[in-house]
Structure 1
Amino acid sequence: MTTASDTLLDGTHTVLTPEYVEFRFTLAGLYSRFLAWLLDRLIISAVSMGIMLGLSVVMLAFPGFGSALLVVVYFLVDWGYSIFLETVWSGRTVGKRVLSLRVIQESGVRIGFYHAALRNLARPVDGLPFFYLVGGVSALVSGSHQRLGDMLAGTIVVRERRLKVPSALGTTGEEGLLADPLFVARVKRLSTEERELVLSAALRREELRLEARLRLFSALGARLRDALAMEKPAHLSDEKWTLLVAAALLPSAGARAPGPRARALA
């Protein structure tokens, strides 16, 4: 759990949604980022050493070819490690996961291959002249603790917050609707951005002021109606409707008793 002192130490990044609702992220400090980088470097070094031992026979038999192959493989491991893991692991590497850090876009959504590649391909410049001096100075003077690679890719590194799933997601009062295959199937087809928006709103709704909360869920309710092509049950508020969609995104969504179907739009 992030404390107030951590927030003051590491700084915050505020995202204003189109509905004029603010979400705050705690920025990762240089110390935690350095520890995550150090752990990742140890892993890369261990993997590289294993590959080097594996290629030793080739290097002995074909010195020139073996050396060239070793350089190529080391390049792929050194650069590909962070790019691959941050792409498939939602902005995390092993080091970042251990330190509870994550790379996200400045807009607050998850990064993709483009962002992961761009920020990591800039590492040689950030690493100049030694021990990431350029990147460290850049992060110190940047308001969002961004090294040059982050500025280039439009990304930030934040501390992950351990948020409890609201009890409302498990007791929506609409267990029958959650068991409707049509409803669940359409929810599962939501885009990644839409899923993250719904889940983030559900997890952080208690942090919002009443006016902002009503405005956010009103906009989400209308967006989900169009995205799912399904009518919202008349007795549900926009917030309850959004929480119902969030509940359907959880792994246990399909294990509920049968009930009435949501009405599809024509």
Structure 2
Amino acid sequence: MTDTPDTLLDGTHTVLTPEYVEFRFTLAGIYSRFLAWLLDTLIVMVGTGAILSGLSMAMMVFPGFASALGFVIYFLVDWGYGIALETAWSGRTVGKRVMGLRVIQRSGVRIGFYHAALRNLARPVDRLPFLYLVGGVAALLSGSYQRLGDMLAGTIVVRERRLKAPSAIGAAAGEGLLADPLFVSRVKRLSAEARELVLSAALRREELRMEARLRLFSALGTKLQELLAMEKPAHLSDEKWTLLVAAALIPAPGARTSTGARAVA
């Protein structure tokens, strides 16, 4: 597989699955992360200003506490903004979304509240002495562009890319099993991690060597039978069975839903 210019510029992070299949993620560079931070900082400052405006009467009564209160509110808004959005948006803030970036765990799966809280609570240290100098130096020295908060939380920041659903998934949509309400309902109940693995495997199948591809879908086919508590139809291969599950997860064209065939790379 040939590296793209973005990959060569920003570097890559490789995740090895238990089936010894490699998935590669394009790491976000310092420049794109800095631009995302600038946008997020602007939003935090506007939010802080709005809150302080609402508390202007109280600050007039206690003018000596105005400066201290401003700093406290700024840090509370800054922490709350990063933690809340990265938890709710699966590793994205407004700045990261605009720049096409996402925070994920080093294992390649989405982050939760614990990871978002750790990496954001460490920001005051990363900011020292100014403009994220400590965090920037740590990221440059790290092989995965991790600032101190990322090292603490076990996270990395990667570039996103939209991948079109392969034609094989569209072909799988013709299978009668997708009309079975029991099958579809059980697929919809899969965990977020299982959904990400199925969709990532389906979208990246052409990038894998044949041996790794067979090994991956064999393991996935067995695991999906266990998770769905359903036997795989005898006429389906493990790969076709997995693609059927992926087809059940991807909304039909024109469906009004926010779920998409998105993957990070």
- Unaligned segments of structure 2, at least 5 residues: 256-265
Question: 1:3: how far off?
Answer: 6.9
Aligned 8 A contact 2:45 2:74 in 1: no
Query: What amino acid does structure 2 have at the position aligned with 1:53?
Result: S
CA contact (8 A) 1:87 1:113 kept: yes
Q: Structure 1 runs of 4+ off > 6 angstroms? A: 64-69
CA distance in 1 between counterparts of 2:62 and 2:124 reads: 30
Contact 1:202 1:242 in 2 (8 A): yes
- Cα distance change of structure 1 residues 75 and 124 upon mapping to structure 2, 3 Å threshold: closer
SS of aligned partner of 2:145 = coil
CA contact (8 A) 2:221 2:241 kept: yes
2:198 maps to which residue?
A: 198
Gaps of 5+ in 1: 256-266
Counterpart CA distance in 1 for 2:67 and 2:147 is 33
Structure 1 residues 111-120 or 159-168, which shifts more? 159-168
Q: Which residue of 1 aligns with 2:214?
A: 214
Residues in 1 aligned to 2:138 and 2:153: alpha-carbon distance in whole angstroms: 14
Q: Is 1:40–1:95's contact at 8 Å kept on the other side of the alignment?
A: yes
Is 1:177 the counterpart of 2:177 in the alignment? Answer: yes
TM-score (norm 2): 0.90
Displacement of 1:165? 1.1
| C-alpha distance 173-76 of structure 1, shift in aligned 2 (>3 A) | closer
Q: How many residues align structurally?
A: 253
Aligned to 1:110: 110
- Map Cα deviations across residues 238-266 of structure 1 (whole Å, 9 max, x no partner): 0000010011112239x9xxxxxxxxxxx
**TM-score with structure 1 setting the length:** 0.89
In structure 2, distance between residues paired with 1:64 and 1:187: 59
3-state SS in 2 of match to 1:251: coil
Summarize the Cα distance change of 1:74–1:143 in structure 2 as closer, same or farther, 3 Å threshold.
Answer: same
Q: Aligned equivalents of 2:247 and 2:5: distance in 1?
A: 33
State the distance in 2 between where 1:124 and 1:69 align.
Answer: 17
Return the offset for 1:4: 1.7
Counterpart of 1:136?
Answer: 136
CA contact (8 A) 1:174 1:244 kept: no
Q: What's the offset of the Cα at 1:86?
A: 0.5
- Residues 62-81 of structure 1: CA distance to partner in whole angstroms, max 9, x if unpaired? 65787776555433311110
The residue type paired with residue 139 of structure 2 is: A
